[in-house]
Structure 1
Amino acid sequence: MKKWITSGMLLFMMAIQGLAQEKWSLEQCVTYAIKNNVSVKQADIQARIDRLTLEQSKLALYPTANSQHSGGYQFGRSIDPTSNQFTTNEILFANHSLNLNADLFNWFRKKNTVAANDYTYQASAARFEKARNDISLNVANGYLAALLSGEQIHVAEVQVQQSREQRDNVKKQVDAGALPELNLAEMETQLANDSSTLIGAKADFKLKLLQLQALLNLDAAVPFTIAAPPVESVPVLPLSELEPDVVYNSALQNLPQQRINELNVKAAQRNVLAAKAVLYPSLSFFGGLDTRYSNAQKLLPANFQPAAVPIGFVNVNGTNYVVNTQENIPTGFNKNTYFRQLSNNFSQNLGLALNIPIFNGGQARINWKKSKLNVTLQELQKEQDAQSLKQDIYQAHTNAVAAIEKFNASKIALASAQQAYDFARKRFEVGLLKPIDLITNQNNLFKTKINLLAAQYDYVFKMKLLEFYKGMGIQLHN
């Protein structure tokens, strides 16, 4: 057994290590998160619970049958369960019964309860789908944030390499006496700052990966990295195909939250009908079988013979005369066995039961009123979510437009910053520019590159968010 357990653990660790050695794509991250994220699992379990509730309400439509069996020992003054007479004997007894009950008419209470539970289950299934969509969107957001952080590392590495080359060139000129030592100190400071920025970028990338692992419910101790597709290759729809009205109408049809609200309203309406049915009389059929045993009745008469049995006397002229009656007196007995008693005591019953609610503390009527208010509550929730959805989509469209404009402006700013840096470097190399001025232009170029990357990733995510609202999911490739 220990060998099997050890082998299983080794295979599991090998599988985890093999999975960790490859770079995770967005699709792999989303698939893993859907299978392992706690929120998604909770939504799945709730859907299963609601499905079982639906199954139980369907089974409640059928008649009920129950069999009861009891046995015991009684002593002191009690009633013999077979003769129904008082006795002080110690008695060993047993009772057996089978009861059947079937609703004939209850104003469709059970039928409406089944329908309400069916809508509730469908809403839970849609809620599970929503949890999958939410985690997919969150993973995509975390994935793009990690990609941006990774790109910032590359930019910082280029910056460090440029600063190192410039520091080396200045050092040579200082050693040759062509430049003062102040210039070298300034370049050393710039290199140190750029190295610090690179260290911070690497730390931020690790943090983004840890945050993504948390979304996946993946152990933080497991080595983890992601594939880095060029952001330029990520397909996005033209903004003209993502007009807010079009996206909103599509979202009403495709997003699970809207189906959840619609199903919750239908379930609440059915619950009103089920609650109202409790206010009216109901008719049911019942039937039963019953038998019992008692060891107090151990013998049964088997043979009889006629005999005169005195029942009193009369006085005639002072003389008492006995009055007799003719009766059959048992002369032989059989044992009253367990199964014989069950047969002799066997009884049956059939009947109809009419239940008329008169006063029960107002519970049924209050529940009916509550159920009607719950319909209004669900309708308001549906309206509120629709308003919020429309607001979110219009806001997302506005943000996408701003992100596109910012991205285009950042591209122009990068071209200008690159040109300024190139001119400054050429002037610095011929001694026409101070190191501090070169450093300033270099820092401006670095910030512009970072701003462009951030604007580009922000633009991609804003567009992907609109595509998500439209029901297209999250994809980073064609």
Structure 2
Amino acid sequence: MEALSVLPSISDVLHSAFFVYFCQMKHTLLVLTALGAALAVHSQVKWSLEQCVEYAVEHNISVKQADVQARMDRLTLDQSKAALYPTANSQHSAGYQFGRSIDPTSNQFTTNEILFANHSLNVNADLFNWFRKRNTVAANGFSYEASVAKFDKARNDVALNVANAYLAALLSNEQINAAVVQLQQSREQRDNVKKQVLAGALPELNLAEMETQLANDSATLIGTRADYRLRLLQLQALLNLDAATVFDVQAPPVDSIPVEPLSELEPAVVFNSALVNLPQQKINELNVKAAAKNVLVARAAMYPSIGLFGGLDTRYSNTQKLLPANFQSGVVPIGFVDINGTNYVVNSLQNIPAGFNKNTYFRQLSNNFSQNLGIGLNIPIFNGNQARTNWKKAKLNVASQELLQEQDAQTLKQDIYQAHTNAVAAIEKFHASEIAAASAQKAYDFARKRFEVGLLKPIDLITNQNNLFKAKINMLSAQYDYVFKLKLLEFYKGSGIKLHH
């Protein structure tokens, strides 16, 4: 009994087990909490423009489609190069024939059931085809280079769209900051008026007007935050990033965004640079070259071509089961002749098989082995005028590509000159908005001082405050507008899109 008393009770055991389990669960929960916090911190890292562009270039669907098309054109180019070499094909067949047919080994009619097999190897090579294949390779090479340029264009287009959406998000974020300041000022003014109303220095109407202004400013702040979220969602769509992903962007001060002086972005200089640097111009140039090579390809189809061919052939038939081993001379009746009503046998001295060997499968393949080698001449005479029509179409396609190249150059020049005009107007508008914002700030400062000493009604202070808010928003909008327009000129020039030095 004393020994048994030393053993722990069942309740003690359960208590100890529960304590160990609780400690383990507590440790697991701590680890999961720390991991979740780390993931949350990581997901809240703000994206820079460079990160957005890099991610968009890798994940945007349009860029992926351009990449797939470039790889397909690369395969077409590789295939056209492989077509320069001779072709070789091997055919093998086996079958069973019955009824009246031709024995494939003796070429005689027979009614026997035959098990047969045929084997052949054929080689063909072009000796001269007016450089049709070589020009096809050149045309496909230009087409592939154009596809690579299209891929670069897709990347540039995505980068430009991302930069536009990014700057729009930054502007929306600046509007939030302005709305926060506006709300803070309204709250301070409301609290000040409330104290004076409670002291009997001002009527309750003044407090009601301030409460209305505070409510309006609160609604403005909510609207700007919603607009910022929509801007982020639009940017996420360009990145092909899940809308449910926690996402935010870095907000560098607009004054820190580097822009080239307008004097270095003259439209003529930008246009000449764009003709060299922009992928679209390379695409058009390469398409013209490819079209010119296709004219030569189409023309070659109208002329004769010379080719070399060769082949190996053999066959087997189960009707040829025996093969003569040796021969001996003998008289063999070959027919009858009628002389005065009497038929006489006509005999012939021939070599008659004296022994036979088995005609095996491989022995037949060896005995029936044949070869052929020759030169072929293909002369197109009349094929529904198809070759000449294709040639004429190819020449018209060259003219079409040249017109497209000219049209794109004209459009590019017009866009650049228009962008430069818009940039000049945007800078002038920004400078005007700076003056307006400074004047509105001065008017608000005077109005606030007068309001604090009781010389101005709250409604007049509210009017000046709203004018200041609108002036700041207009100045921010004008500033981001001219920054983007200068960035657009930099993009045309080939400087890329950057928001920092």
Q: Please give the TM-score of this superposition, normalised by the length of structure 2.
A: 0.91
Specify which of 261, 279, 291 is matched with residue 314 of structure 2: 291
Residues 190 and 308 of structure 1, relative CA distance in 2, 3 Å threshold: same
Structure 2: tracts of 5 or more residues without a match = 1-35
**Residue from 81, 102, 107 that aligns with 2:130:** 107
Q: 2:486 aligns with which of 460, 463, 472?
A: 463
Aligned twin of 1:152 = 175
Please give the residue correspondences for 1:157-236 in structure 2 after superposition, counting only pairs within 5 Å. 157-236=180-259
Query: Pairwise mapping of residues 1-400 of structure 1 onto structure 2 (< 5 A)?
Result: 20-313=43-336, 321-400=344-423
Tell me how far 1:452 sits from its aligned partner. 0.6
After superposition, the Cα gap between the structure-2 partners of 1:18 and 1:268, relative to the gap in structure 1 and judged at 3 Å, is farther
Question: In the alignment, is the contact (CA less than 8 A) between 1:64 and 1:100 conserved in 2?
Answer: yes
- Aligned counterparts of 1:279 and 1:329: Cα–Cα separation in 2: 59
Question: 2 CA distance for matches of 1:161 and 1:388?
Answer: 49
**1:304 and 1:29, CA in 2 relative to 1: closer, same or farther beyond 3 A?**
same
Q: 1:176-209 CA deviation, whole Å, 9 max, x = no partner?
A: 1111111111000000000000000000000000
Q: Identity of paired residues, percent?
A: 80
Distance 2:388 2:412 in 1: 36
2-structure distance, mates of 1:120, 1:16 = 46
In structure 2, distance between residues paired with 1:177 and 1:138: 58
**Paired amino acid for 1:100:** V
**For residues 286-328 of structure 1, what are the alpha-carbon distances to aligned partners after superposition, in whole Å with 9 as ceiling and x for unaligned?**
1111111111111111132222222345577887654432222
The structural deviation recorded for 1:331 is 2.6
Give the alignment partner of residue 454 of structure 1, picking from 461, 468, 477. Answer: 477
User: What residue identity is the alignment partner of 1:469?
Assistant: Y
- Distance in 1, matches of 2:197 and 2:383, equals 100
User: 1:474 aligns to what SS in structure 2?
Assistant: coil
Contact 1:75 1:88 in 2 (8 A): yes
Read off the aligned partner of 1:149 and give its amino acid letter: S
- C-alpha deviations, 1:406-458, integer Å up to 9, x for none? 11111111110000000000111111111100000000000001001101101
**CA–CA distance in structure 1, aligned partners of residues 60 and 334 of structure 2:** 91
Question: What is the rounded CA distance, in whole Å, between the counterparts of 2:63 and 2:392 in structure 1?
Answer: 34
Structure 2 counterpart of 1:431, from 428, 434, 454: 454
Deviations along 1:15-55, one digit per CA (max 9) or x if unpaired, are: 98675321100000000000000000000110111111011
| In structure 2, C-alpha distance between the alignment counterparts of 1:286 and 1:75, rounded to whole Å | 34
Residues 333/415 of structure 1: CA separation in 2 closer, same or farther (3 Å cut): same
Return the offset for 1:71. 0.9
SS of the residue corresponding to residue 96 of structure 2 reads strand
Instruction: Classify 1:71/1:172 alpha carbon distance in 2 versus 1 (closer, same or farther; 3 Å).
Output: same
Asked if the contact 1:428/1:434 (under 8 Å) is kept, the reply is: yes
Question: Alpha-carbon deviation of 1:130?
Answer: 0.5
CA 1:126/1:319 → structure 2, altered by over 3 Å: closer, same or farther?
A: closer
Relative distance call for 1:27 and 1:258 in structure 2 (3 A) is same
Cα gap change, 1:320/1:361 in structure 2, threshold over 3 Å: closer, same or farther? closer
Match of residue 4 from structure 1: none
CA contact (8 A) 1:17 1:222 kept: no
Q: What secondary structure does 1:301 align onto?
A: strand
How many residues matched?
Answer: 466
Q: How far, CA to CA, are the matches of 1:105 and 1:40 in structure 2?
A: 41
Q: Work out the CA distance in 2 between the residues paired with 1:426 and 1:35.
A: 56
RMSD: 1.6
Q: Could you tell me which amino acid in structure 2 is paired with residue 105 of structure 1?
A: F
Question: Could you tell me whether the CA contact under 8 Å between 1:20 and 1:225 is conserved in 2?
Answer: no
Output the CA distance in 1 between the equivalents of 2:341 and 2:256: 134
Aligned to 1:9: none
Which residue of the other structure, out of 431, 445, 448, is the alignment partner of 2:468?
445
Distance of 1:112 and 1:431 partners within structure 2: 90
The AA in structure 1 aligned to 2:203 is P
User: How many Å separate the matches in 2 of 1:198 and 1:320?
Assistant: 129
Q: Distance in 2 between matches of 1:332 and 1:38?
A: 79
Report the CA distance shift for 1:98/1:17 in structure 2 as closer, same or farther (over 3 A): farther
Q: What amino acid is aligned across from residue 95 of structure 1 in structure 2?
A: N
Q: Distance in 1 between matches of 2:266 and 2:379?
A: 59
The one-letter code matched in structure 1 to 2:471 is T
User: CA separation of 1:462/1:321 partners in 2, compared to 1, >3 Å: closer, same or farther?
Assistant: closer
- Structure 1 segments, 4+ long, off by >4 Å, are 13-19, 313-321
